[in-house]
Amino acid sequence: MTTITRPKPTVSVLAEHVSDHLSVFVVAENTDSARPANGGLRLLNYPSDAACIADGERLAGLMTHKHDLYGTGFAGGKIVARAAEPAAVKDELIQVTAGLLESLDGAMITGCDLNTSLEDMERLTALTPHVLAAVGSPVDASAATAHGTLGAVEAVLEAELSQATPGRALVHGCGAVGGTVARVLVEHGWTVFTADLDRSRASFPGATPLPSDCPWWEIKVDLLIPCSISGLINAEMASALKVAAVVPAANAPFQQPQLADDLRRRNIRVLPDPLVNAGAVIADSIERFSPDAWEGAGANDVYAFVRQEVRQRATNYLNQRDQGLSVGDALVEVAAEREHDPIGLSFGDAA
């Protein structure tokens, strides 16, 4: 089988605002409104503008990969903002971001990310149309990501959860994504260990919350599902893992990429995170390219579509790996063709 490696897209700062207390950078592929960049608005206390831009470039690259895998119709992008006191600059951030989006004339569309909320997106939508965040919709972007993650779990299990034999899973991070994933697994009879800095989020009926000092990476489970932070798993943890598969909803869960390859050499199945956590961008594609179907659909319709699409693509990826393809070649094989219609249009066809 012959594969063609696609050239790596170049991301750069397309627009910026810099002041003594707030810096905002739109980092994306150089594109236009015909194929707008798409990625959330992240607000953090970065140590410097350079660090903020570097994170934006990293995240925009990940978004590019995710959009290309699923053929969302978007280019990759991210808006990153730096402030010493994030909560104190929200009003200004909304105003500044609206201005930057307007200056790009539809070439960038944003939504929620770290330290920005649906309420923030509602305020932003009042100032610019270049927002996709399911504003006014019953669909929740985090829930869409969770259901995509469940689709990836089903690909690993080679069965829908309702038909699979329950096993043991560890969910690290029990927020909006991980909490949903963990609860669904519990509902299907799984033994679910939960880990979260906020123990109250990890403690719900049926779960087994782990103490904060517990070496969770030493627990033998069938599935490890990281849903918390990037760089969660270091070399020591990776070498100690006793798992059958890693299904990461978190971006870049390994501190070094080669750690995932080390696990694969131990016959542990590790799904690439852009394959797993694409639920929100698939929902964005529906909202953008099938607006009538989006308006008429219920949240569960969207979640079922996301889950099926991720399950199918992850299954195809695992089949390619079983045939001997490298991770990179397998991802190229399963990626959507650029000339195909956006995946969101197929939801409109099915609705």
Q: Which domains does the chain have, with CATH numbers?
A: 11-125 (3.40.50.10860), 141-276 (3.40.50.720), 280-350 (no CATH)
Q: What is the pLDDT of residue 6?
A: 47
Q: How far apart (Å, rounded) are the C-alpha atoms in residues 181 and 321?
A: 25
Cα angle, residue 13 at apex, residues 7 and 18 outer, rounded to 5°: 165
DSSP letter at 217 equals: G
pLDDT at 351: 56
What does the alpha-carbon distance between residue 71 and residue 62 come to, in Å, rounded to a whole number? 14
Contact 175, 143 (CB under 8 A): no
What DSSP string describes 160-171? -TTTSPP-EEEE
Q: At what angle do helices 49-70 and 279-289 cross, to 10 degrees?
A: 70
SS3 87: helix
pLDDT (0 to 100) of residue 350: 62
Q: Would you say 42 and 115 are in contact if contact means Cβ atoms under 8 Å apart? A: yes
Q: So what's the pLDDT on residue 9?
A: 65
Q: Give the model's pLDDT for residue 2.
A: 36
List the pLDDT tens digit at each of the 351 positions of the chain. Answer: 333 344 556 899 999 999 999 999 999 998 888 899 999 999 999 999 999 999 999 999 989 999 999 999 999 999 999 999 999 999 999 999 999 999 999 999 999 988 998 899 999 999 999 999 777 789 999 999 999 999 999 999 999 999 999 999 999 999 999 999 999 999 999 999 999 999 999 999 999 999 999 999 999 999 999 999 889 999 999 999 999 999 999 988 999 999 999 999 999 999 999 999 999 999 999 999 999 999 999 999 999 999 999 999 999 999 999 999 999 999 999 999 876 899 999 996 765
**How much is the pLDDT for 137?**
86
- For 58, the 3-state DSSP assignment is helix
Quick check: 32 and 106 in contact, CB under 8 A?
yes
* Tokens linked to 128: 């610019």
